[in-house]
Amino acid sequence: MKKILLLIFSLSSAFAGEQKPNIIFILADDLGFGDIACYGCPDARTPNINKLAEQGAKYTNFYANGTECTPTRTSIMTGRYPQFAGGLECAIGTGNVGRYDDAIRLAEQSQLGLPVNQALIPRVFTRAGYRTGIFGKWHLGYEPHFNPVKYGWDEFFGCLGGNVDYFTHRELSPLPALFSNDKPVTREGYMTHLITDEALQFISRNQKTPFFCYVPFTTPHFPFQAPADRDKKFTRENWTEGSRESYVAMLEDLDNSVGRILKKIESLKLARNTLVLFASDHGAMKPGRNLPWNGYKGSLFEGGIRAPLIAKWPGKIRPGTLCHQLGATFDLTASFARITGTQVAGKKLDGIDIIACAEKNLKPLPRELYWRAKRGDRTWWAALENDGEQTRKYIRRKEGGKTEEWFFNLGEDPVESKNLFALPGNYGHKLKGKLASWEKRMKPLR
């Protein structure tokens, strides 16, 4: 950790006198680790995302901070474990529904969302003189006081909840779904294309000033509607059903949108001074592909929380870099603070500067990560430790009065096929103790 802090200081000094870089952060929704060609997908063509990896860094050991959308997005906005926010350990339900005890309590108080005073993004960018825009999915609160503009975003276009029909832009709720800043709007067009159009307009308008363009696409989250699926009828009964064919078409259309963004910054001659990031908020549900990992969205097996991360930054990150540092989505917040030169005095960050690791091609440092995910009467926990030699993981799930526990040596068994927890004296008990200590520190700030 000391090495990373020293690196942050030295890199911050190096930025003095330089033009501040633009940052474009593209976040896919429910995209599986194995859904991109450069991460091993055999049936989806993603040449633009592949090109990002070829021209920058591909991270091989990166995780989401949550098993669902809201907790991961909470960690990105705060740079902390999502447990500190209170009530946001699982996705906010369609129509502003709390899905476990603390979330239900907050919903009843009209407080189910991310408190503005906990959010560091976009504040770190605004303080550094950046223009900020978010185009896509918010999912951090439906109430008017949780609208993105209340956090200081200069522009917002997208949906407040977790999903919308890609053509009608409605969710399965009577609440307004599509917003421009804090006003409901209606638009014609496919949701992915509308999001991309708005992002491109923002980039064009702000080409002469540093900007942070956050593009959290709804793709490929259900309903599984490809651009050619306009005539398919989606109801409450089949909202989450879909074919792999439509899913792949959605992925390839997403890749086209990434290509449009890259082409825009090239045409405006901004590419040389722009950091472009691509990631997913957690693993996929079926018909997504999380291979080679085990499990799906909603679980703490590798397939539920492993995520792709790609970073392209000409002149800073060498093309073709493979970064093996154990990382998580809240690390990006620490990177944003360092890159913009913004101090976060009084705000503790739980992440490390994951972009610096790729810039200097650092040898991976030992690290521990923890998770807790609640929904209904089900709770998942996990502890992951890499000590420089071995990577080990403990998982626990409690549901309906039944508790299950797992321990895996991921170095020898990366696909989690051999549960070693029943073996005498296994290291999983030590990780279980570390997890208990971590959980005691995770006291909500409200």
Tokens of 159: 């949906």
Specify the DSSP class assigned to residue 384: E
Where among 335, 366, 397 does a domain terminate? 366
Q: How many domains does the chain have?
A: 2
How far is it, in rounded angstroms, from Cα 153 to Cα 116?
Answer: 11
Q: Are residues 401 and 303 in the same domain?
A: no
Kindly report whether the peptide bond that precedes residue 174 is cis, defined as omega within 30 degrees of 0.
no
Q: Are residues 35 and 47 in the same domain?
A: yes
> pLDDT at position 8, please?
46
Q: Is 438 helix (H, G, I), strand (E, B) or coil?
A: helix
Where among 307, 333, 366 does a domain terminate? 366
In CATH, what number is assigned to the domain containing residue 39?
3.40.720.10
Q: Are residues 294 and 257 in the same domain?
A: yes
**Domain of 87?**
2-366
> pLDDT at position 6, please?
44
Angstrom distances, CA of residue 398 to CA of 282, 364, 374: 21, 33, 10
Q: Are residues 131 and 45 in the same domain?
A: yes
Q: Are residues 221 and 154 in the same domain?
A: yes
The model's pLDDT over 261-284, given as tens digits with 9 standing for 90+, comes to 999 999 999 999 999 999 999 999
> pLDDT at position 9, please?
43
Contact 94, 172 (CB under 8 A): yes
Number of Cβ atoms within 10 Å of the Cβ of 150: 16
> pLDDT at position 245, please?
96
Displacement of CA 403 from its chain's centroid (Å): 29
The H or E element that residue 355 is part of is: helix 354-359
> pLDDT at position 15, please?
47
Angstrom distances, CA of residue 277 to CA of 21, 38, 242, 316: 13, 15, 28, 13
Tokens of 222: 């259900």
Q: Are residues 233 and 327 in the same domain?
A: yes
Measured over the CA atoms of residue 410, residue 416, residue 418 and residue 421, the dihedral's sign is: positive
Q: Are residues 377 and 248 in the same domain?
A: no
Q: Are residues 359 and 436 in the same domain?
A: no
Tokens of 312: 């392209």
Number of Cβ atoms within 10 Å of the Cβ of 16: 7
Helices 69-78, 331-340: axis angle to 10 degrees equals 30
Specify the DSSP class assigned to residue 283: P
> pLDDT at position 289, please?
97
How far is it, in rounded angstroms, from Cα 273 to Cα 218?
Answer: 27
Give domain status of residue 446, yes or no: no
Q: Are residues 128 and 237 in the same domain?
A: yes
How far is it, in rounded angstroms, from Cα 116 to Cα 20?
Answer: 26
| pLDDT tens for the 446 residues of the chain, in order | 444 444 444 444 444 457 899 999 999 999 999 999 999 999 999 999 999 999 999 999 999 999 999 999 999 999 999 999 999 999 999 999 999 999 999 999 999 999 999 999 999 999 999 999 999 999 999 999 999 999 999 999 999 999 999 999 999 999 989 999 999 999 999 999 999 999 999 999 999 999 999 999 999 999 999 999 998 888 888 999 999 999 999 999 999 999 999 999 999 999 999 999 999 999 999 999 999 999 999 999 999 999 999 999 999 999 999 999 999 999 999 999 999 999 886 668 999 999 999 999 889 999 999 999 999 999 999 999 999 889 999 999 999 999 999 999 999 999 999 999 999 999 999 999 999 999 999 999 99
What is the percentage of the chain residues whose pLDDT exceeds 90?
Answer: 91
Bridge partners (DSSP) listed for residue 385: 368, 392
H/E/C letters for each residue in 152-172?
CCCEEEEECCCCCCCCCCCCC
Specify the DSSP class assigned to residue 271: G
Kindly report whether the peptide bond that precedes residue 47 is cis, defined as omega within 30 degrees of 0.
no
> pLDDT at position 292, please?
97
